[in-house]
Structure 1
Amino acid sequence: MTKKTLIILVIILGLILTVGYISTPKLMAVKIAAYEQEGNQENAVILKERLIRFFPGSEEARWEVYSLIDRLLEKEERVMIGPDFTSGGGAEEDILVPAEKVIVYLLKVTKAQKEAMWKYNMYEKLGEVYHSQGSFSAAEENYLIAAKGFEAVDGNFRAAETNIRLVNLYLETGEQEKALSLIEESSKKYADLYIDEFLSKKGDLFFQQGDYQKAEECYRKALEEAKKDWDEFQAHRSDQEESINATLDQQPVYRHSKSQMELIRNLKTKGDEAKGSVKGEILKGNIPMSNVLVYLINEKKYDGRMNHLEGIQESSAFKTDMKGEFKFDNVAPGRYFLVLGLLPEDLNGLGRFNGLKAFTVEEDQTKELRYVFQPKAKILEPTGQNTFNAGESLKIAWEEVPGAKSYNLHITLKLENGYASQVYRQNLRGNSYIFNPQGMALREMNFVTWGNEYVLGPSAILGSFYPGAEIFFVVEALDHEDRTISDSEGYVLEPCGNYPSIQVGETNPLSIGDKLVLEKKYSGAIEAYLKGLEEKPNDPHILLSLARLYNYGWTEETADLGKAVNYYEELLKVNRDRFIVQAAAGANNQAGNYETALKLYEEIENEMSKSIFWFHQMGELYFMTGNTEKAIEYYQRYLNKEKEFIDLGPVIAYLYQDDVPGALKLLKENSYSERVRYNSERETEKPADINQLINNLERYHNGVHSALNKEDFKKYLWEIMSINGSNRFEKVQAFQAKIKSWGEKDVLVFVLEELAKDRL
């Protein structure tokens, strides 16, 4: 081989290698896209990582590392935990590359970039990732590099965006001087870019400092600038162009500034009353939890919408520091609750607890709070899924939870469109339970749920243990005050988590009616059950099925409480299992047969009294049966434990006995949920105004005359307690209109109006 030939071969080989090096990232990117389209996330992620490692300077590596970052930041959507709700934390099918690994890849790609703009884009992304992970000093360092770099290469637009991120960081970490300095500097440098955003951030800063006048001025200017930008955008947008975020009110800066101004106006209406504060800590066992977003929510403004928290929070969300601590100053007296936003990975392995109850902030007082997450309770047996047939037994065992006095065993039924859960056994001692339902107990727990096309599920009639049902077990650990310490489920569903379950196999022989219920043919089921009853008039399964069908009404036409009560009455003659007595009591209560309901509940008092809410139920029933002294006794037992009204029934009971001081004492010593109520059109309605109620009761007690005599007043109190069932809003409105005939400014009319609002 000649030297010339060798040189040619080397050149050809070099060209082949060069072409291969250039084309390989493109080929890898095509294969990644194919894997993702197939749903093969595992192979897609492996190939992404190889592409980034071996070809960090390629355009494809840039986009793939961006995709890893975006997925990481999207998955950082927090699990939001409130007093009685949790959102997020569902089972994750995506494969998420850990943040530490993403940072390593991002640094590698950043260093390999030849184009300045791309390099600083990467630095900004590094800042975002560090920021999301709570590494604030690293986030600041990378944001600063990116901002200075963008400015150097004449990327003012990107420099302004990065400075906004920096301002957010400073506001989160409480570095107000840095935030103000950067806002002032950026407002001058980039006067034509994001001026509305910088003004809004300045408003946030003054709001943090409690200088509401300056904050309001900044927000007002931000609104003006946002409107100018919007009007200019609309003027240059073609009619054919697709409308995105089509109203001014939907623009983030405008919406935020407007909601903050509304919040300031609400604070001003409080006058010069002394403010309180809220502070606390969040722990994982004994370890502080940093990077938890804490939202302080005014209970009166909360309308049940999770996406509405920004508009009703009392001040900007606080992110816990390295000690797990948070604090809100200048809080107007009133009722509040906290919502915690945690990263799913910070909740992995932790159980649920029930400490997030509403609380009251008082003048010149600091409300101190402490929330502790504990490890999930661990179920030892069974593991995986088991088949369960009638007559068999299944042992459920779990590790003891430190500090637990007792345990609740929950069962969760898998539905065609979700899941439903209930407590199956309460206050179990020890760390095991033999699961062995048979006979009528197979139908003990029923879930009144609706499936697809709004059809009643079979479990409503046949109970949870019907053939083919899939049931999961969850153990909940309780402390000495019956508060949840932890459970075996937790807030984040793990794909490989140990959720022991059973697939229900054979049960007792199914009747024709039962089979029709499984097929959701309820008209045919009723006919079959009635025919079966002719042959077996005392068959408990048939009687229970008919009672439930008429009680729950699989359609509006078949709902018949009278028939349900009658079938329960016949059933009780042949079987008085606790769950049947309880169901019969509930049906009689719904039907207004209060005496019968009361006697049935009294029969199972030993079991029912394990639930504190039962005492409230009994208080209402004793009131409706004319025994107000007994009603007050049971209401008081409930309030001694819970310290919060479910409704104002206890106050009505005291007033019915003409004990105004007793009613006032209750109102002042116990809290009342100020969450908005809903009318029949699902529009929000205000709850009772407790301050107005106290004020007018005190006026009456101090001698202010009312046109209502005591007997009229008692008659109306009784009417209020009788407002139940559907169409409550219309009933309340009709009642309020009726009592105005006594005089719209009458002191007791005011009292009755507020008490009636509580029945919504």
Structure 2
Amino acid sequence: MKKINLRIRTVIILAAAISILVGIGYSKTPSLMASNIESQEKAENKEASIIMKERLINYFPGSEEARWEVFSLADSLLQQEERIMIGPNFVGGGRGDQVNIGAEKVISYLQKVAKAQDEVMWRYMSYQKIGQIYQIQSDYDEAVKYYEIAARGFAEGDKAFKVAEVNGSLVEIYMELGDMDKALALVEYNLESYPEQEQARFLVLKGDIYFQLGEFTKAEAVYKQAMQQAEKDWERFLDHSKQNDLKESNINATLQDQPPYKHSKSRLELLQTMESGGFPKNNGYQDKGNIIGKILVGNAPLPNVLVYLINEQEYDGRMSHLEGAASYAPVKTDGLGSFEFSGIVPGRYFVVLGVLPSDLEGLGRFKGLDTFTVQEGETENLEYAFQPRVIVNHPAGQQFFTEGEELPISWNGAPGAKSYNLHITLKLENGYASRVYLQNLKDTSYVFEPEGLQARGMNFITWANDILGPSAILGSFYPGAEIFFVVEALDESGKSISDSEGYVLQLNANYPSVQIEETSFFSQGDKLVLEKKYSEAEQAYLQELKEKPDNPYVLLSLARIYNYGWGEGTSNPQKALQYYIRLLGITKEKFIIEEAASAGIQAQDYELALEFFEGIEEYFEENSFWYHLMGELYFKTGDPEKALRYYQNYLKGQKEFRDLGPVVALLYLDRFEEAIKLLEGKEYSQLLRYSSTGETQIPADIPTLIYSLEKYSSGIKSDLQKEDFRKYLMEIMSIDRKGRLEQVQAFQAKLKTLGEEDVLVKALQEIARDRM
């Protein structure tokens, strides 16, 4: 009997031990599986890692490892939805990583994990992520459903900051759907119920709602509140940082960079401009404009494109700030590729297209997203078309190239193309630099054969770690340089419609390129430049010049070294001019004359710069920027009549001013009516200007300028004499180079002493702001 009891006890103990071991093994399995997933990902076995993730989520949904893996899948899916953002002069965004699990499956995994999680935070974060996935798919009903589940759960779990986060997403959806009443009610609820959570963000949303409703006085008041709250939040952050011994130098941001502050400040400046331009602050939807547009691929519609509408004055030039600068909720193109914005405040806008990388495969880049003006009570019609990418047949991949050789470049003709530009792109240590090498080629082939001094003409003035890049001195053709070729297709009007690069980078593709092996001249000074030993290179070049005083390569290198400098305080444009003049006694290459003229401007020898430009004027293309520059130089040298002729040469066919130089010339010549007509006939960029310290400044207010000039032309007296007015115009045009902001501010302070309400003083104040 005792033996039996002993056996039973032994069996029980063994069973318990086995149970404990199994339990331990079971509890350790998720951790082991997570380690395996990490190993697979490091080995880039994506399919194997995804299979392991799915098993982990299915078998152990309540584990911490399953939670992080499903969140990882959801985040990857959301990032995969990240679009390539295409604007007037920038392209960015998009991702190459693809998640081979559909949205529906990821959502089902999130639901499984949510049900198995014990902690409130993780359970409702799962529902929040489901809402995010539905939101990017524009399934707003489902997005709202899951966001509301998450918000209720976070509220019950006393997670106020998460409630605020989810409510912010709900407000954005309601605004996108045009349900401003619901959006405003939720904003008010959040401000009252969770006053310590993201108050600045909700004040901004409230201001945006009033702005879109056309209640501008209310919007103005709320934006001011948002700025004040953002300042308080920033002060609290700095105090917290000090308490935690976080050095201020390590805080890579300022108050001005904080989205609520930045957006509110931008909107207040816009409202100020609207008011000064005669657009009342409280006019509801009357006098607003509309936009309708279409996105195509060839002649076929492109659906599911996210279209952002950006007020030019609110954009700070940074692509990463598009969300904050968007004037209205973005819209998606429908099955016909169509989109629409209604109730738009009159002003200058541009659109940014957010396109999925998969929809851009095989398409070339185009340039056509220009700024446009929305007029009161009118509808602006837009149409943008992507075209197939230009295919370069030869060279295929990279080839080695020695100066003096010939390299045929050929490509297939693009639909609708009437001419082509050939660009070269130089690989740099910190990126790439590109520019047009040849323009308006009518054929679909070209023989590339740069040699002699011309091979150094295509230089790129770039900096890395405050040190000049070697290309600035050596051009693009030096031993070891890698050059890529891009063909750009133009239509009959000269507008870019496609290219050979495209939007989607193919990492393993053989892009047409050459690596330079040898050049006809490469001196010791050149070698030192390539090593960025510029002081030693300068001395080597001077020695080489003693041995051969007429060496054009050395003269060019010395001219460039002194023209650009290689670090703080090392440029010497007067010395550069001496070497350019010596070089021009040997050769009259056009690029050398252009560089010499630019050095003349830097040296403030405007008459000499004009002399150089006049020597190559016959080669200028129609509407060339050089005409505009010559106009400014003629004005500065006391010939406003000639300045005006050159300004007008530049303005022919131009949609907008480069700056207000032509207007200044007309006013100097006492041709006020013509100046007003020109201001009314050409557009003027409202992009923010930047000071040397990074501060943003709004540009000249054209409606205020026109109003002031019209009042003076109608007989309103000014205390300024004509000669004094001309003197101030000349003083304005002398504001250039470094410290422009400080120069403008000093000039405006001086003008204030002459009477702020004087019509000509007001006009001068606005013209001065154009020089920033």
* TM-score normalised to structure 2 length: 0.81
Mapping 1:286-325, distance limit 5 Å: 286-309=299-322, 311-325=324-338
Residues 119-518 of structure 1 mapped to structure 2, 5 A cutoff = 124-136=128-140, 139=143, 165-166=169-170, 168-174=172-178, 208-210=212-214, 262=268, 270-271=279-280, 272=282, 275-285=287-297, 286-309=299-322, 311-452=324-465, 454-518=466-530
Asked if 2 retains the 8 angstrom alpha-carbon contact of 1:200 and 1:253, the reply is: no
User: For the structure 1 residues 323 and 221, does the alpha-carbon distance in structure 2 shift closer, same or farther, using more than 3 Å as the test?
Assistant: farther
Distance 1:230 1:45, change over 3 A: farther
Q: In 1, Cα distance between the equivalents of 2:142 and 2:645?
A: 60
**Structure-2 separation of matches of 1:415 and 1:70:** 33
Deviations 1:351-370 (CA, angstroms, capped at 9, x unpaired): 33222222223222223322
Q: 1:565 to 1:214 in 2, by over 3 A?
A: closer
The percentage of counterpart residues that share the same residue type is 49
Aligned length: 745
Deviations 1:165-186 (A, max 9, x none): 55543432346687689889x9
Question: 1: distance between equivalents of 2:594 and 2:710?
Answer: 40
Helix, strand or coil: the match of 1:490?
A: coil
Q: Alpha-carbon deviation of 1:539?
A: 1.3
1:4-38 deviation digits (Å, cap 9, x = unpaired): xxxxxx999999999988765542211222344xx
CA contact (8 A) 1:458 1:518 kept: yes
Distance change >3 Å, CA 752–CA 158, structure 1 → 2: closer
1:604 match: secondary structure: helix
**Contact 1:297/1:312 (<8 A) preserved:** yes
Per-residue CA deviation, residues 424-450 of structure 1 (Å, 9 max, x unaligned), is: 112222222221111112211111112
Q: CA deviation at 1:122?
A: 5.0
CA–CA separation in structure 2 for the residues paired with 1:674 and 1:234: 33
Letter in 1 for 2:395: P
User: Counterpart of 2:653 in 1: which secondary structure?
Assistant: helix
Q: How much does 1:87 deviate?
A: 3.9
Aligned to 1:104: 105
How far apart, CA to CA, are the structure 2 residues paired with 1:204 and 1:52?
42
Post-superposition Cα deviations, 1:332-369, rounded to whole Å, max 9, x if no partner, equal 33333333444444444433322222222322222332
Task: State the alpha-carbon separation in 1 of the partners of residues 442 and 148 from structure 2.
Answer: 58
Report the AA paired with residue 66 of structure 1. Answer: F
Shift of 1:549: 1.1
Identify which range, 698-707 or 250-259, moves more after superposition.
250-259
User: Is the contact made by 1:134 and 1:291 (CA closer than 8 Å) also made in structure 2?
Assistant: no
Q: Does structure 1 residue 615 correspond to structure 2 residue 627?
A: yes
- SS at the partner of 1:383? coil
Contact 1:378–1:488 under 8 Å retained in 2: yes
> Could you tell me which residue of structure 2 aligns to residue 5 of structure 1?
none
Q: Deviation at 1:290?
A: 4.2
Q: After alignment, is 655-664 or 729-738 more displaced?
A: 729-738
Report deviation, 1:104. 2.5
Secondary structure of residue in 2 paired with 1:673? coil
Cα distance in 2 for residues equivalent to 1:188 and 1:654: 54
Q: What runs of 5+ residues in structure 1 fail to find an aligned partner?
A: 1-9
* Equivalent in the alignment of 1:600: 612
Q: 1:330 to 1:264 in 2, by over 3 A?
A: farther
Q: Tell me, in whole angstroms, the C-alpha distance in 1 between the residues paired with 2:676 and 2:536.
A: 55
Classify 1:312/1:115 alpha carbon distance in 2 versus 1 (closer, same or farther; 3 Å).
closer
Q: CA deviation at 1:312?
A: 4.6
Question: Does residue 519 of the first structure (1) align with residue 531 of the second (2)?
Answer: yes
Q: Which amino acid aligns with 1:501?
A: S
Deviation at 1:520, TM superposition (A): 1.9
Distance in 1, matches of 2:173 and 2:760, equals 54
One-letter amino acid of the structure 2 residue matched with residue 103 of structure 1: E
For the residue of structure 2 that corresponds to 1:632, the secondary structure is: helix
Which of the residues 676, 682, 688 maps onto 2:688? 676
Please state how far the C-alpha of 1:326 moved relative to its aligned partner.
3.7
The residue aligned with 1:57 is 59
Counterparts of 1:255 and 1:719, CA distance in 2:
35
Q: The residue matched to 1:129 in structure 2 has which SS?
A: helix
Whole-Å Cα distance in 2 between the matches of residues 755 and 228 of structure 1? Answer: 36
Output the CA distance in 2 between the equivalents of 1:615 and 1:78: 39
How far residue 51 of structure 1 moved from its aligned partner, in angstroms, is 3.7
Q: Deviations over 1:217-258 (max 9, x none)?
A: 999999999999999999999976999999998999976996
The reply on whether 1:83 has 2:85 as its aligned counterpart is no
Separation (CA, whole Å) in 2 of partners of 1:622 and 1:188: 59
User: Equivalences for 1:535-684 in 2 at 5 Å?
Assistant: 535-609=547-621, 612-684=624-696
The answer on whether the counterparts of 2:419 and 2:489 sit within 8 Å (CA) in structure 1 is yes
CA contact (8 A) 2:74 2:106 kept: no
Gaps of 5+ in 2: 1-14
State the SS of the aligned residue for 1:644: coil
Question: Per-residue displacement from partner, 1:189-220 (whole Å, max 9, x unpaired)?
Answer: 99999897989877766654445688789999
| Mapped pair 1:689 → 2:701 | yes
Cα separation, 1, equivalents of 2:195 and 2:749: 57
Q: Tell whether the 8 Å contact from 2:644 to 2:665 is kept in structure 1 after alignment.
A: yes
- 1:68 matches 2:80: no
Shift of 1:97: 0.7
**Which stretch of structure 1 is more off in the superposition, 240-249 or 537-546?**
240-249
Partner of 2:544: 532
**289 and 181 in structure 1: CA distance in 2 versus 1, 3 angstrom threshold:** farther
Aligned counterparts of 1:489 and 1:481: Cα–Cα separation in 2: 22
CA distance in 2, matches of 1:515, 1:195: 57
* Deviation by residue 1:248-291 (Cα, 9 ceiling, x = unmatched): 98999976996799589657884256532241324141344444
Matched residue SS, 2:36: helix
CA distance in 1, matches of 2:679, 2:581: 40
Change (3 A) 1:721 1:32: same
For residues 568-587 of structure 1, what are the alpha-carbon distances to aligned partners after superposition, in whole Å with 9 as ceiling and x for unaligned? 11111211122222222222
Cα distance, 1:231–1:301 mapped onto 2, change above 3 Å: closer
Amino acid in structure 1 at the alignment position of 2:714:
N
Question: How much has 1:469 moved relative to structure 2?
Answer: 1.3
2:59 partner amino acid: G
- Amino acid corresponding to residue 138 of structure 2 in structure 1: G
TM score, norm. by length of structure 1:
0.83
Q: Which moved more, 1:458-467 or 1:533-542?
A: 533-542
Task: Report if aligned partners of 1:82, 1:339 keep a CA contact under 8 Å in 2.
Answer: yes
Aligned equivalents of 1:719 and 1:189: distance in 2? 54
Q: Distance in 2 between matches of 1:479 and 1:505?
A: 36
Q: 1:28–1:47: 8 Å Cα contact kept in structure 2? A: no
Pick aligned residue for 2:744 from 732, 744, 749: 732
Whether the aligned pair in 1 keeps the contact of 2:80 and 2:97 (CA below 8 Å) is no
- Conservation of the 8 A alpha-carbon contact between 1:57 and 1:113: no
Secondary structure of residue in 2 paired with 1:503? strand
d(CA) in 1 for partners of 2:161 and 2:525?
Answer: 71
